[in-house]
Each structure stands twice: as C-alpha cells, then as structure tokens.
A and B are shown apart, each in its own frame.
Chain A
C-alpha cells in the first residue's frame, strides 16, 4: 500500500535578496491513516511546509508524492483540482464566510469539484452531524463559539473525503477547554482512517497525534519522545 505522503529532499527557497532557505531538504513519509504532528519554533518553516503539502506553494526542488503520484511539478489547473478533491484544510483563523450559515460554509467545499448540486446539502449535513453540529446547521459564524466555528471548518475540510487533512494551528485561536473538544473531533475523524497532519507549536496538541516530528531551520528531526514510524 502506498503512503499518503512521501517527501524526498523538498527544498523551498524564497528568492531574495537575500534568498531565504525556508525548507532545506525535507524527507518525510506519512503512511495512510497516520495522525502526524509537526512542531517547531517560530520561523522554522512550518507554514512553508504546510503550503507545500497543501499544494498552495511549489517546492523549489524535491519529490512530493501524494497517494503515490508525484505532484511537485504539476501545473496550476491540476494543483487546484487536487487541492479541491484530495486535501482538506483547517486554518487557525477558521476562514468561514461570515454571511453564510454553517451548512452553506460546508457546501462551499463542493462548489468547484463537480459534486452534483442536489447531493451537496445532504452530504454537508452528514459531516456536520459527525462533528456534533446538527443543531447549528443554519447558524451564522458570528453567532457561533470559536470551537463551533472550527468544527464547521473541520466539517468543510472533511466533506469531500480527502486523502489528507491538513491543519495549521487548528487550536491557535481557542482556549484550552474548547481546544480539547476540537482535538477530540480530530481524534474521532482519525479513527475512521483519515490521514491527518497537524502543524502546531503547542505540545498538548502534538501529544494527541500518533507521531510528532520537529522542524528546525528548515530541516526535520524525529521528536525525542516519538514512537517509530
């Protein structure tokens, strides 16, 4: 069985002046169904790696295989398609559209990937049920708590059944109790076999993952207390 993610010598250099080597040869394999945390200090290259993994940015060099297919060199059209169909994003800032209900925000993820219109609401309702928001389907983001908002965002990321769920500081804007609830939802999603990569600098968040890697100055190090892959 192919791994969900295989990275070989991924580099990302921001052209200067002066040029900044944000990623300096990342090697990483994430098997399917793995729950991985990537930790690291500020400026280490976490967000840069996240952008590469999410196909929002192209690596300067290296191989990136998603589900066994090299996606490092594909064009804009294909990257958009893969983002829309294979990758789910959860952001620190939620990024919910303020004028749309929870249900409509989740349905937005089905706008560009040829999902039949008639089935969008039904599918969205189902994932919202999964994250425990059945009673908030028609609530606007402004009327929801931070935890609820992030659960809507997780539902939105999950509605297309992606190969990879990418979370960048998913609890960065939440207090610890709410963060726990959101992490509980992620753990639940993971039990259904979902591959998850969480980027965080919070050890408590990392502790929920099966494995943690640390990025420092653009290079990955296995975490001291991490189990073997």
Chain B
C-alpha cells in the first residue's frame, strides 16, 4: 500500500504517466553530445572564449591591482609628507613665513600612531659643494664628488623615517643638539670616495670642513637622494649654512602605523604650530581603493565588452548547432514520441544538451582562464588574486548561455508531430 502511494497516479486507461528521470536525461544528454564530439567541441568554442575572457580579465585585473594594493599598503599607506604652505596670502599675512619649529620631530612623534618623523632639506649654498675624502681639493677636479653628489640636512628623526639599512650608526639627537660635525654617507657616494670602513672614523670634507662619518646608509625606503649625498644634522646645517633657503624649503616625512596616516595628516599641522596650522600642508597617502578602482575601470571595461561579444557568439553557435541537431534528428524525435516521450521530454532533452554544452564550455573556459592568471602571476612574481565570487559562478554563465541558446530549438523540437517525423 505504501509502495502504491509512491507510484505515480494512473490514467483512466490504466497507463502510468510517461516519465523522463533526471538520471536518464543526463545519460541521454551525454550520449547526444558524444555522438558528435568534434561538433560539440567546436560549438563550445565561443562559450570557452567568452567565459574564459570574463574570468581571465577579472582575475588579471584583481591580481594586478592587488599587486598595486600590496606595494601601496606596505609603504605609501604609512607615509605622510608635510610641506610649508606656499600660499601668497599666507606669506602676506605674516611678516615672514616661518619654517618648521626646532622641536618639530618631538612634536610629531608625540602623536599617537607616529613611528618616527623628521625634516630634511637639500643644502644649495648657491654653488655646488665641494665634497671629497681629503682636504684642499679644488672644485671640479677628479677628487671632487660634489658635481653629482648633494649635501643634505636632516633631523635625526628623518633618518629613522626613511628606514635605511646602516653600516655604523645614524647621528642622533645628541649630535644634532650640539651641532656636531658628523654626517652619514650615502652608500653610492661612499663607494666613489673609497670609504668602506667606519671604525677608522673617516672624515668627509665638504667645502674643506671636515665631518666625521658615523654611518653609511643603504637601501632607504624614501628620499633616495640621500644615497648619493652627505647628510649632516639639521642644527649643524643651520649653524654652518643658515636656515633652509626659500628655493629648497624643508620637508617633513612622517612614518605612521598602518591605518593611522589619514588621521596623522589632519593632526600634524596643528601639532607643529597650533596657533598657525595653515603654515603647513600635510599630504596623506592616496586612498588605496580609489587607486585600485582606477586601474580596474581602465582594464575591465573594454575586455568585459569583448567577453560579452564572445558569449553572444557562443550563444549563437550553440543555438545553431542545437537547431541543426533538431532537424537532423527529426526521425529520432518521432521515434521517441512513439516510445512514450511527451513533447516536454523532447524539449527537456535538447535543452539539457545545449545547457550542458554551455556548462562544459564554461568549465573549460574557467579552467583555462585560471591557468592563465596563475601563469601570468608566476612569471611576474605576483600573487594571483582570484575572487571566488567570480570564478565559481563563471561556469554557470556558460550554462546560462547554453540554456538561452537552446530555448528556441527545443521548443521547435517539442512541436514536431510524431507521425510527420516518422514518415521519413
């Protein structure tokens, strides 16, 4: 009795309604597709290209922008640059535009989220400095490195902000406060001057003034100019050369904790001079999302249109093949109807064939695209970024294309009258 209930209702004639089980649809579909494998493969091509292009474009874009985002996060997102305002009205309102306060480093380093901060400026004392490893060198001679090397002033905090690797030590607040004749040497310049050892306390002569080299810096993250020059403490520079000149004003570099930069950029001018914060302009890092979006919009727009065109071509291809198959298999349709198939079973079969064709095309396309993204990422030493939200549904796009393509042919197949079809 229980068994009876599970069975389908019967018609008045005693016949059970015809049935096309899912498992049978699947095996009939696969049989239909594999009986002409070459044609099935060709038909899939458009969908393979379309879905492949779609996934590859999104994958390459997210990989590339992920790359940008990665670099960005590490360095730029933790950097705030503060410059003096160049506003004319600002100059006019006060007698003279004041520079950074003497305790600028301390004022900023007090802020929560700041790792280190410091000011620097190039010393352009009207003429090129004469820089050499020995005294009494004339400007422009082969011993003078001043032609291509620069002289810089930097506060101790700046040296920390640029995060160099250093041989020896960096000059510190003590050297700075006392205006000592010390310097750090850029690695490039050190090589030119033949200075390799720090423990011998070598000196560099800048315009015949000796500065003791306390360290050689290499591999800075910011202000690479310092690698080719001599950097002396800012107080020492002020004693010898005066305050930073108007044509090369001091700049401040603040290294912050990750995520703190935008806030520090707002707080820095006030911390530097509460009564006149407009003397300073703090430049926060650009918004990483904006940066990434710009890249994505540039690339994806065009390629997604191309992917769409491929998908439409794929759809037309599947529709055409399915339609031809319906015409070719008219006798088979008649036979299946004679064997008990309903019109909807015929439609289901052709619809399943076109959908599976699209689905397989989508799977192949997705696989190729993922491989492409991985290979590109590997060759460029990038991290491949594939969003599962685009990769996983991608084969379904193919299936959708196949389904749409199969609608008309399968309706036509369902409408074929069995007695007409069998007359052949």
Cross-chain contact B16 with A95 (CB below 8 angstroms): no
- Mask, B325-361, CB within 8 Å of A = 1, is 0000001101111111111010000000000000000
**Is B423 an interface residue when CB atoms closer than 8 A count as contact?**
yes
Interface residues of A in 108-166 (CB under 8 A from B): 108-109, 111-114, 117, 156
**Chain A: which residue is nearest B15 at the CB level?**
A81
Quick one: given A80-B340, A112-B340, A114-B19, are A95 and B13 in contact (CB under 8 Å)? no
**Is A74 an interface residue when CB atoms closer than 8 A count as contact?**
yes
Bound Cα distance from A227 to B345, whole angstroms: 44
**Is A93 an interface residue when CB atoms closer than 8 A count as contact?**
yes
- Mask, A202-219, CB within 8 Å of B = 1, is 000000000000000000
**Chain B: which residue is nearest A156 at the CB level?**
B339
Bound Cα distance from A57 to B31, whole angstroms: 29
Bound Cα distance from A228 to B345, whole angstroms: 43
Q: How far is the CB of B228 from chain A (nearest CB, A)?
A: 77
Quick one: given A56-B337, A111-B20, are A71 and B13 in contact (CB under 8 Å)? yes
Cross-chain contact B334 with A112 (CB below 8 angstroms): no
A109 / chain B contacts, CB cutoff of 8 Å = 339-340
Cross-chain contact B341 with A84 (CB below 8 angstroms): yes
Q: How far is the CB of B84 from chain A (nearest CB, A)?
A: 84
A86 / chain B contacts, CB cutoff of 8 Å = 13, 15
Cross-chain contact B16 with A85 (CB below 8 angstroms): yes
**Is B142 an interface residue when CB atoms closer than 8 A count as contact?**
no
B336 / chain A contacts, CB cutoff of 8 Å = 108, 111-112
Quick one: given A111-B24, A111-B28, are A83 and B422 in contact (CB under 8 Å)? no
Cross-chain contact A93 with B419 (CB below 8 angstroms): no
**Is B92 an interface residue when CB atoms closer than 8 A count as contact?**
no
- Mask, A81-115, CB within 8 Å of B = 1, is 11111110101010101011000000011011110
**Is B14 an interface residue when CB atoms closer than 8 A count as contact?**
yes
Q: How far is the CB of A45 from chain B (nearest CB, A)?
A: 13
Bound Cα distance from A97 to B336, whole angstroms: 10
Interface size on B, residues (CB 8 A): 35
Cross-chain contact B13 with A66 (CB below 8 angstroms): yes
**Is A54 an interface residue when CB atoms closer than 8 A count as contact?**
yes
Contact partner of A54 among B11, B17, B338, CB < 8 A? B338
**Is A77 an interface residue when CB atoms closer than 8 A count as contact?**
yes
Number of CB contacts from chain A to chain B under 8 A: 107
Quick one: given A111-B28, A112-B20, are A56 and B339 in contact (CB under 8 Å)? no
Bound Cα distance from A156 to B335, whole angstroms: 11
Bound Cα distance from A99 to B31, whole angstroms: 9
Cross-chain contact B345 with A82 (CB below 8 angstroms): no
Q: How far is the CB of B22 from chain A (nearest CB, A)?
A: 12
Contact partner of A47 among B19, B342, B423, CB < 8 A? B423
Bound Cα distance from A91 to B336, whole angstroms: 13
Bound Cα distance from A100 to B340, whole angstroms: 19
Cross-chain contact A84 with B14 (CB below 8 angstroms): no
Contact partner of B338 among A47, A89, A117, CB < 8 A? A89
Bound Cα distance from A56 to B418, whole angstroms: 6
**Chain A: which residue is nearest B340 at the CB level?**
A84
A56 / chain B contacts, CB cutoff of 8 Å = 337-338, 418-419, 422
B345 / chain A contacts, CB cutoff of 8 Å = 112
Cross-chain contact A74 with B23 (CB below 8 angstroms): no
Bound Cα distance from A97 to B333, whole angstroms: 11
A77 / chain B contacts, CB cutoff of 8 Å = 11, 17-18, 342
**Is A188 an interface residue when CB atoms closer than 8 A count as contact?**
no
Q: How far is the CB of B240 from chain A (nearest CB, A)?
A: 95
Q: Mostly helix, strand, loop or mixed at chain A's interface?
A: mixed
Bound Cα distance from A114 to B340, whole angstroms: 10
Quick one: given A84-B18, A93-B424, are A74 and B342 in contact (CB under 8 Å)? no
**Is B12 an interface residue when CB atoms closer than 8 A count as contact?**
yes
Interface residues of B in 368-424 (CB under 8 A from A): 418-419, 422-424
**Is A226 an interface residue when CB atoms closer than 8 A count as contact?**
no
**Chain B: which residue is nearest A81 at the CB level?**
B15
Cross-chain contact A113 with B422 (CB below 8 angstroms): no
Quick one: given A78-B11, A93-B424, A95-B422, are A108 and B18 in contact (CB under 8 Å)? no
Cross-chain contact B341 with A85 (CB below 8 angstroms): no
Cross-chain contact B337 with A80 (CB below 8 angstroms): yes
B19 / chain A contacts, CB cutoff of 8 Å = 112-114
Q: How far is the CB of A22 from chain B (nearest CB, A)?
A: 12
Bound Cα distance from A10 to B290, whole angstroms: 79
**Is B74 an interface residue when CB atoms closer than 8 A count as contact?**
no
Q: How far is the CB of B346 from chain A (nearest CB, A)?
A: 10
Cross-chain contact A114 with B16 (CB below 8 angstroms): yes
Cross-chain contact A113 with B338 (CB below 8 angstroms): no
Contact partner of B337 among A82, A83, A100, CB < 8 A? A83
**Is B89 an interface residue when CB atoms closer than 8 A count as contact?**
no
A111 / chain B contacts, CB cutoff of 8 Å = 20, 24, 28, 336, 339-341
Bound Cα distance from A47 to B331, whole angstroms: 16
- Mask, A36-58, CB within 8 Å of B = 1, is 00000000000100010010110
Cross-chain contact A81 with B16 (CB below 8 angstroms): yes
**Is A222 an interface residue when CB atoms closer than 8 A count as contact?**
no
In the A-B complex, list the 9 residue pairs whose CB atoms are closest, starting with the nearest: A84-B340, A112-B340, A81-B15, A99-B35, A56-B419, A78-B11, A112-B18, A51-B419, A69-B13
Contacts A/B (CB < 8 Å), 17 sampled: A51-B419, A67-B13, A67-B14, A77-B11, A77-B17, A77-B342, A80-B341, A84-B339, A84-B340, A85-B15, A87-B338, A111-B20, A111-B341, A112-B19, A112-B340, A113-B18, A117-B21
